[in-house]
Structure 1
Amino acid sequence: MAKKEQTTTPASFEAAIAELESIVAAMERDDLPLEQALASYQRGIDLLRHCQGTLDSAEQRVKVLEQGLLREMNTGENGQEP
């Protein structure tokens, strides 16, 4: 009987990466039945999309935090700001 496909959202970005790495390792062993390989591939795509969305969100948060806060450092001869 085929393993039930997981459709849950990972608890964290790190958990998603760990599960994705596990799926890749299992698929690289090339010993999965076709149906399980297809289900694993689909889960991998879902995890990849989740990770990409998480990274995109983090990037947007960083951009918001950086707005108006970053400025070029002007250093004097001794390496100190003037």
Structure 2
Amino acid sequence: MAKSAPKTFEAALEELEKLVDSLESGELPLADSLAAYKRGAELLKYAQAELAQVEQQVKVLEGDVLKPFVLSGANGANATDE
């Protein structure tokens, strides 16, 4: 039986971290490793979709105000101004 979609982005990340830890331990049987990998792929897809949706909402909220991020130096000047 397939697990349901996570309730939140944070829940997806938490479950994904646990799956990665389990896979990295090397203690899971092969079939369980495959199931964990498949679940991880589902969680990743969910998280990417959530991020894309939030990014779109931010773009709509910012409208024409959205500008590229420029990292500022320690003195407060833009890195491109130095």
TM-score, length of structure 2 as denominator length? 0.76
Count of residues in Structure 1 that have an aligned counterpart in Structure 2: 67
Q: Which residue of 2 aligns with 1:9?
A: 5
**Aligned equivalents of 1:66 and 1:17: distance in 2?**
27
Instruction: Specify which structure has the higher proportion of helix.
Output: 2
Deviation at 1:40? 0.2
Question: Which blocks of at least 5 consecutive residues in structure 2 are unaligned?
Answer: 68-82
Q: Which residue of 1 aligns with 2:61?
A: 65
Deviation at 1:7? 2.3
The residue type equivalent to 1:8 in the other structure is: S
Dislocated runs of 4+, deviation >3 Å: none
Query: 1:17-56 deviations in whole A, cap 9, x for unaligned?
Result: 0000000000000000011000000000000000000000
Question: Is 1:49 matched up with 2:45?
Answer: yes
- The RMSD of aligned alpha carbons is 1.7
The percent identity for this pair of structures is 43
**Aligned equivalents of 2:5 and 2:66: distance in 1?**
38
TM-score, length of structure 1 as denominator length? 0.76
The equivalences for 1:8-27 within 5 A come to 8-27=4-23
